[in-house]
Structure 1
Amino acid sequence: MDQASEERRRLLAKVGDDLWGIELLRFAIQQAVADLAGLGGMVHLGGPGHGTGLRLAVTSGLPPAFTHAWERIDGNGPLAPARAFRDAVFVQVSMANAVVGIPQQRASGRPDGSAAEPWSWPVGTTMVAVPLPGPGGPIGALSVVTVSAHEPSPAQLAFLDTLGRWTGEHLSKSSAPPSGSGLIGWQEQSIAPHLRRDLQAVGTWDWDIRTGDVIWNDAMLAVLGVDPDTFDGRIETWTGIVHPEDLPWVLADIDEAIRAGRMHSTEYRVCRPDGTSGWVRARGRLVVDDNGEPARMVGTMWDITKTHDDLDAVTEPGPSSAERAAVERASRIKQLTRALAEAVTVRDVVDASADHILPAFGAAGLMLTFLESDHLRPVGFTGYSQEFVDRASRIPASGKYPIAESLRDRTPMFINSAEEYIERYPTTADLPAAGGKKAWAFLPLIASGRPVGSCVVSFSEPRRFTGEECNLLTALSGLVAQAMERARLYDREHTRSQELQRGLLPRGLPCLPAITAAARYLPAGKDMEVGGDWYDVISLSADRVAIVIGDVMGHGVAEAITMARLRTAVRTLADLELPPDELLSHLNDLVSELGDDFYATCLYLVYDPTTRSCVLARAGHPPPAVVHPDGTVHFPDADPNAPLGAATPPFETVEIDLPEGSLLVLYTDGLVESPALDIDQGIAHLAKTLSGTTLTGTPCRHQNHAAASDSTRLRCTVCLESLCDRLTAALLPGRQGTADDAALLVVRTHALPNDDMASWPLPDHPRAAGQAREHVRAQLSAWDLDDLSMTTELLASELVGNVVRHAKGPIHLRLLRSNVLTCEVSDGSLTTPRIRRAADTDEGGRGLQLVSAISHRWGTRYTPGGKCIWTEQPLDPACPAFLTDQCDLDMYDLLNE
């Protein structure tokens, strides 16, 4: 062990200044853990002048479930890192006591919100901690979790002490301005003692270039004056603190450091949120991924305001005329930075660039292009005609165009006049006149080290670009490039989300005899992902209709996929003719199998036009609104049960009677609930909006609505579309920025006329088949459907014969006429018939094969007294059976064009 410690001590001596920030701390942890044969380690940072709190900077080898509770600890508390930092001594405590002072963490994802179990360690596990010394006292503490209950050996203690001092020394070195920083030698010597005396704790930062996320320690927050409770961990927050006059060249240096793979080192001014300002020095090292592409930048930052104050006292510089002239431009650049940080879509980026870049430079035109394959495609422009943009719609990236050359070379190109353009690019000499511009700045857009497009800033008069303007435009192109890349990713994902949402919802609602329906889906605000709200209308046997609406809790692709699975499951279960309570029980099992993170609400109802009744069940979903023909509104009083995934079957069902022309209004909670409105108030608002909605009072955009008959107006889809618009306008004024999506489904019910129904009881005797044929023949003759008589007689005879042979009475025969002819035979048996393949020598077993062959559709459903076997045959699709007179036919065609 002594030899191992000595080897690691020699390793520390060989490590130079290549390690910075978090990489340096991670290296120190790994050496400490290896020397003690520990399980893992942590580094907490703090510092004089930054309060008594310690913030977790980096971990290694320890599970996140454990380290989450150690992210911020009290510097005056009993924990090992706090004691080592506070007393500047080695500390060792048992892990049985290590969590004293750590508040219990809530278990993430638990629906009951219960507290997590305390973390358990093997008996004898301890935590050791050593301070990280700095010029003015400890700047942090390094701690290791080890399974040994014994104190480290003298050699190990010596190595830990050396490692702590080495780490603190290297962190402190990063706080001293390096040679070549631009300070004059005698000035640097004169102020160095003041700098060392007033230097505050070193800030460390870790920036993920691809996502824009940054990690700061407490010292970094203090240097920039950011409240840790409000820090959002975004690079835009950092750049927003940089002084507007310094921001362009700071961003240009960062961009160049990423391109060249060199160290980023610069000084600049900051404008802190509390109104104070100061100077800081930042140094950062680029970290690449396995493919050599830029991935992160890690580094340090420290306050050098005192240094600049001393320099100002010596030189007494005064404001130059150039600085005064640039105040207005700096203000516009600051506004541009803020606008680009807030831009979400490509259109937002184009508008922000046009609104702030053009006035700042007196430009007349701007065009942004994306690099797609080997072409540049314009995605936004201002100051150009559409004809000119169409002509430049696909510019070859390899062609001899200034916009393409600047991107290939990754170098801005400035052309001062049309004559210069024609001289340099004679093959496209007609473009200046076609675009109406006489000077151009062609700026390549480079994001994360790779080209993404180009920006063209053009002027209506010749212009001699100054060095300051060239530098500023180059720096601004980096801002625009980052914003464009984020916006393109957003637009792409947003388009995919919309396509996914449209693909998962019904493309259109079916036109059925029993109902007329209209629906709306309203997504949440533009910063939200695809939602989980859904609805469907499903045709069942005997003209019955299943109507369903649901909401998967949460937003995102996972929730949308869950919604699609539920919608598919509902259609499959509905085809089995399951009652609402049984169907919800199966859905509950499906959602439960998905895991504890998935929950959904659902309302499922079945409307029977032959009885004008509706049976519904719901799982955590708001109740439907029922509007009677006289305009009264009520909500069925039914137990909502718990949401799917948390419910305990059986589900309660409610049966309600619906007079002809009643309205069913189904909706998700996003329609009636918001942060400013609870769900009960929203439902009351919905009832008030629906109150008085009658057949004649329903608003309709169709000009012939008032002249149509009542039967036609009942089936007017335009009326329901207008009602949907009225409800969404009243309940969701100003949809922008809402936190939840919403679905709305409005259904008007229609009863099947008594003249279109006929039923007869049949004896449980072989002669029942003959009687069934006689009833069918007579009824179809009365309905003028003699063409279907032979087929229907055969179907009825076969079904009745099967009941007599294999089931039991009582037997009933029923015929229904709508857009199809339905033939039903019911009996008192629960045995479900199934088609089987009959062998050549079998005398029976071919009856259902015959039924399947000559009917359009057939199936079985259970009834309270047994089961019902049904068949369907289509009638003339050009003439729906529920329309009778020529006036109704004309209006039907007109309203449904």
Structure 2
Amino acid sequence: MREQRAPGLRFRGAGQVSEKRKRLLALAGDDLWGIELLRFAIQQAVAELAGLGGMVHLGSPGYGGGLRLAVTSGLPPALTQAWERVDGNGPLAPARAFRDGVFVQASLSNVDRGMPEPGGAANGRPDGRQDGARAGSWPAGTAMAAVPLLGPGGPVGTLSVVTLSTHRPSAGRRAFLDTLGRWAGERLGKSSTPDPALTEQQEQPTGSHLPQELQAVGTWDWDIRTGDISWNDAMPTVLGLDPDTVDGRIDTWMGTIHPEDLPWVLSDMDEAIYTGRMHSTEYRVCHPDGTTGWVRVRGRLVRDDHGEPARMIGTLWDVSRTHDVLDAITEPQARNAESSSAERASHIRRLAGALAEAVTVRDVVAASADHILPSFGASGLMLALLEGEHLRPVGSTGYPKEFVDRIAQMPVSWGFPITVVLRERTPMFISSSEEYVERYPATADIPAVGGKQAWAFLPLIASGRPVGSCVVGFTDPRQFTGVERNLLTTLSGLIAQAMERARLYDREHTRARELQRGLLPRELPRLPAVTAAARYLPAGKDMEVGGDWYDIIPLSADRVAIVIGDVMGHGVAEAVTMARLRTAVRTLADLELSPDELLSHLNDLVSELGDDFYATCLYLVYDATTRSCVLTRAGHPPPAVVRPDGTVLFPEADPNSPLGAAAPPFDTVEMELPEGSLLVLYTDGLVESSTMDIDQGMAQLARALRGTISGAPAGHREHAAEPDATGLDCLECLESLCDSITAALLPGRQGTADDDAALLVVRTHALPSDDMATWPLPEHPKAAGEAREHVRAQLSAWHLDDLSMTTELLASELVGNVVRHAKGPIHLRLLRTDVLTCEVSDGSLTTPRIRRAAETDEGGRGLQLVAAISRRWGTRYTATGKSIWTEQPLNPESPTLIPEQAGLDLYDLLDDE
């Protein structure tokens, strides 16, 4: 049957193939050495002769004329085991080729049958052993072709090929084998050739001990069981030793050089012995003359007839010239690479530490940018978190706003790299804008928008689920190495874990902050009696929210309650406790309780929360009609009082214990404040820290107040009772004062303080005497009529005639109730501020109550009338009794209710005269 050839294939002649192989040898050049060189030579020879496999034997007179097997290829150990040592004077093909320096071919049939070749002795085995053992049988009709490996000083070994034919190869093939033998022998007999581009100084490196033409390959044979080592004549030459001082045994060498001078024998061969793998390495050796050099060692394991490790055999040659050449070329690059690698490792270590310490998402972004960009020479970094079906950029550097906005508009379902890596959970590295456009033509404008030419798109995976993406951008095109890809992928995992922790912290912290700020006054009330400004400064980023709070509560008769407190500790529980206390203070203040009584109730409330809850509190009431101030504090720092002349003092009083640990009653302090005084209330976070005790802080606060006030312009107030040196008579001035105080007491500590700090600055105003009117009334039914007359006359003087009728009814009802149900002395007072206050005082502690009167009742509807026609009303207790008060707006938005409109009878309002 005729052979079918594939279309287009043509078979070339043997001569053409041989020429191709010769050119292949020239291309191989000096890149191959030692065992690799010999294996390559065997492969070429076997292919040229279409053989079964091949062997290389090395030898020299130092072996006593013998040859040692160095390398095999394509042949099983069962056949090559008997060829490990060949008698150099014997008739076998390798020995004849080595001895005569010519090509030799001989049949293997006689060797297999134990018969002598022509002209040879019948020894039964190539190694001359006559134990009758046979390693195996060669296939019938096989032959061995051997060619010498010719070095500069003569044969250094032989290359043998087992063929399937006993016919001599063609002249062209023999010529190729001769060329191959010389090519391999020359490279075994010399060190590496220096690069012709090197300078003259580089062409003469140190460490080569002999002229190039005399440098050779050493062969060695190490008996593992006895420790004996034998070698050829080239071994001392390679090691720079005098051949006359050694006799081919290790014990002689030991007297000449130290064991560490033979590391290729004494170490690193355990793996080759136990695994049977080829041993290949390079060592720096120290020569007796004080110089150093490099040798390359190749070796393989030889087993005995029982398969046990017996010997290591191999080659050794001087590669010092190669190392010197490479060092001259690569040393600067190696130093730069080593420096760059060390710098990158340092950045990565710092990044890992910074991510471990990062608390907020902003911290993670900053840490990533600070360490990743310089580590990889990047120019941009962006982190985006997955929220629903979109990615939300949370931080970027090196990217324009337009690029970040484009990312924010992209759903996760879009085919954009930053979303693709998130869906597939696999990093993506794009080396150029051209590659990007080719892969993602739909968003081809992105490279121009972002201003980058290469990108690493990294998914952020935490706890097995995607949390976001990271984009690292480069200004120029870049090929990412495997090391860089692995590092960036690993770092993305660290960033993802840190980002997940930071996001949870931010959520919790934001909720607590919103809770805390939502419970603090959004805006302090503007009252006639006081003008106030406040500051709340949270603790450092590593601290949770605290329980600092403050409030200003309007009371009756132009009185104001001012409170500030601090729940000990930090966290959501403390913020909730603060909210409960603030709510309780407002409720108790509406009951017009005295400061000490109010703190007693607060103490009970905190005690009921548990043993782990404590709070400090300062509560004071300022009365604009008398300019008096009553304060009580529970473990809280005292307020700073700034008088109009600029003096700063701290009221001396027992601070009492904190709420939750106090034992009522609470001590109180009463004082009179001149017009235009300042009250400065604060929490301990403002005046106390790890580096400053509270006494030092209060002294610093006093200095800050004096310094600020002394530089303020003189104030002007129309109704000032005393000269005002503070000049702080407007809200803007107080806001500026708050900023000055915090800057003076917290320099550089804002955002890094140990504790939250609250500051409340209040300027007090006295009610002018022209806006107050007071009359005593008799304890007689006619007192109601007198009250109406006083009201009518005073409102006419104040030009408030529109309120006259309603106010007369209120005063008449309140006085009538006192006459009927209480006792004297009776006083009527009118106050004009932003509201009109009508107040009746008596000497009774009985509290009036609204009751529902039946249709047949002749009375009992008075307080219903009071509640209906006034904006608000109430009762407060005084040192001599109580006061019942009502308030009416001076400019009501709706008409004042008259009794009939309120559904009330005029019976109780008729003149009692």
Calculate the TM-score normalised by the size of structure 2. Answer: 0.59
Offset at residue 325 of structure 1 (A): 6.0
Name the residue aligned to 1:539.
554
Name the residue aligned to 1:681.
696
**CA shift digits 1:372-420 (9 cap, x unpaired):** 1111122222222111211221321122112211111111111222222
Offset at residue 494 of structure 1 (A): 2.8
State the distance in 1 between where 2:272 and 2:860 align: 104
The alignment partner of 2:563 has SS state of strand
1:756 is aligned to 2:756 = no
Moved more, 667-676 or 550-559: 667-676
* Contact 2:460 2:495 (C-alpha < 8 Å) held by counterparts: yes
State the distance in 1 between where 2:884 and 2:683 align: 36
The alignment partner of 2:884 has SS state of strand
Of residues 739, 748, 755, the one that matches 1:725 is: 739
Name the residue aligned to 1:247.
none
Moved more, 648-657 or 676-685: 676-685
Call closer, same or farther: CA 1:390–1:625 in 2, change over 3 Å: same
Name the aligned partner's letter for residue 617 of structure 1.
T
Call closer, same or farther: CA 1:737–1:357 in 2, change over 3 Å: same
State the distance in 1 between where 2:675 and 2:273 align: 95
Of residues 397, 405, 414, the one that matches 1:399 is: 414
Of residues 552, 563, 583, the one that matches 1:548 is: 563
Call closer, same or farther: CA 1:188–1:638 in 2, change over 3 Å: farther
Name the aligned partner's letter for residue 545 of structure 1.
V
1:838 is aligned to 2:869 = no
Name the aligned partner's letter for residue 538 of structure 1.
I
1:807 is aligned to 2:812 = no
Name the residue aligned to 2:844.
829
Offset at residue 698 of structure 1 (A): 5.9
* Contact 1:340 1:480 (C-alpha < 8 Å) held by counterparts: yes
1:355 is aligned to 2:355 = no
Of residues 475, 495, 507, the one that matches 2:490 is: 475
Of residues 672, 684, 699, the one that matches 2:687 is: 672
Name the aligned partner's letter for residue 670 of structure 1.
G
The alignment partner of 1:834 has SS state of coil
Name the residue aligned to 2:788.
773
Name the residue aligned to 2:669.
654
1:527 is aligned to 2:542 = yes
Of residues 465, 477, 487, the one that matches 1:462 is: 477
Name the residue aligned to 1:885.
none
Offset at residue 341 of structure 1 (A): 2.4
User: How many equivalent pairs are there?
Assistant: 564
Of residues 330, 337, 342, the one that matches 2:345 is: 330
1:783 is aligned to 2:798 = yes
Moved more, 811-820 or 680-689: 680-689
1:572 is aligned to 2:609 = no
The alignment partner of 1:665 has SS state of strand
Of residues 615, 620, 636, the one that matches 1:600 is: 615
The alignment partner of 1:437 has SS state of coil
State the distance in 1 between where 2:662 and 2:865 align: 43
* Contact 1:815 1:821 (C-alpha < 8 Å) held by counterparts: yes
* Contact 2:716 2:729 (C-alpha < 8 Å) held by counterparts: no
Residue ranges of structure 1 left out of the alignment (5+ in a row): 1-183, 192-317, 879-897
Call closer, same or farther: CA 1:765–1:877 in 2, change over 3 Å: closer
Name the residue aligned to 1:581.
596
* Contact 2:638 2:681 (C-alpha < 8 Å) held by counterparts: yes
Name the aligned partner's letter for residue 582 of structure 1.
E
Call closer, same or farther: CA 1:853–1:710 in 2, change over 3 Å: closer
Call closer, same or farther: CA 1:679–1:707 in 2, change over 3 Å: closer
Name the aligned partner's letter for residue 438 of structure 2.
E
Q: Which is bigger in relative contact order (C-alpha 8 A, separation at least 6)?
A: 1
* Contact 2:564 2:681 (C-alpha < 8 Å) held by counterparts: yes
* Contact 1:532 1:551 (C-alpha < 8 Å) held by counterparts: yes
Name the residue aligned to 1:423.
438
Calculate the TM-score normalised by the size of structure 1. Answer: 0.60
* Contact 1:534 1:563 (C-alpha < 8 Å) held by counterparts: yes
* Contact 2:380 2:398 (C-alpha < 8 Å) held by counterparts: yes
Offset at residue 495 of structure 1 (A): 2.3
Name the residue aligned to 1:128.
none
State the distance in 2 between where 1:475 and 1:189 align: 38
State the distance in 2 between where 1:453 and 1:570 align: 46
Offset at residue 571 of structure 1 (A): 0.5
Offset at residue 814 of structure 1 (A): 0.7
State the distance in 1 between where 2:647 and 2:780 align: 50
Name the residue aligned to 2:809.
794
* Contact 1:777 1:793 (C-alpha < 8 Å) held by counterparts: yes
Call closer, same or farther: CA 1:818–1:708 in 2, change over 3 Å: closer
**CA shift digits 1:91-121 (9 cap, x unpaired):** xxxxxxxxxxxxxxxxxxxxxxxxxxxxxxx
Offset at residue 430 of structure 1 (A): 2.2
Offset at residue 514 of structure 1 (A): 0.8
Of residues 341, 347, 365, the one that matches 2:380 is: 365
State the distance in 1 between where 2:653 and 2:688 align: 20
* Contact 1:856 1:874 (C-alpha < 8 Å) held by counterparts: yes
State the distance in 1 between where 2:383 and 2:498 align: 12
Name the residue aligned to 2:643.
628
1:613 is aligned to 2:628 = yes
Call closer, same or farther: CA 1:674–1:769 in 2, change over 3 Å: same
Offset at residue 676 of structure 1 (A): 1.6
The alignment partner of 1:733 has SS state of coil
* Contact 2:708 2:740 (C-alpha < 8 Å) held by counterparts: no
Name the residue aligned to 1:508.
523
State the distance in 2 between where 1:464 and 1:801 align: 97
Name the residue aligned to 2:450.
435
* Contact 2:779 2:819 (C-alpha < 8 Å) held by counterparts: yes
Residue ranges of structure 2 left out of the alignment (5+ in a row): 1-267, 276-326, 894-913
Call closer, same or farther: CA 1:530–1:877 in 2, change over 3 Å: farther
State the distance in 2 between where 1:434 and 1:685 align: 53
Call closer, same or farther: CA 1:689–1:330 in 2, change over 3 Å: closer
State the distance in 2 between where 1:691 and 1:876 align: 41
Moved more, 503-512 or 869-878: 869-878
Call closer, same or farther: CA 1:749–1:760 in 2, change over 3 Å: same
Call closer, same or farther: CA 1:784–1:679 in 2, change over 3 Å: same
State the distance in 2 between where 1:847 and 1:868 align: 16
State the distance in 2 between where 1:373 and 1:666 align: 46
* Contact 1:377 1:395 (C-alpha < 8 Å) held by counterparts: no
Name the aligned partner's letter for residue 577 of structure 1.
E
Name the residue aligned to 1:699.
712
Offset at residue 564 of structure 1 (A): 0.7
Name the residue aligned to 1:390.
405
Moved more, 634-643 or 578-587: 634-643
Offset at residue 710 of structure 1 (A): 7.8
The alignment partner of 1:379 has SS state of strand
Higher Rg: 2
Name the aligned partner's letter for residue 842 of structure 2.
D
Call closer, same or farther: CA 1:860–1:391 in 2, change over 3 Å: same
The alignment partner of 1:521 has SS state of strand
Of residues 847, 851, 869, the one that matches 2:884 is: 869
**CA shift digits 1:515-547 (9 cap, x unpaired):** 111111111111111111111111000000111
* Contact 2:391 2:410 (C-alpha < 8 Å) held by counterparts: yes
Alignment of 1:220-259 (within 5 A): none
Offset at residue 771 of structure 1 (A): 0.6
Name the residue aligned to 2:424.
409
* Contact 2:715 2:728 (C-alpha < 8 Å) held by counterparts: no
Call closer, same or farther: CA 1:754–1:707 in 2, change over 3 Å: closer
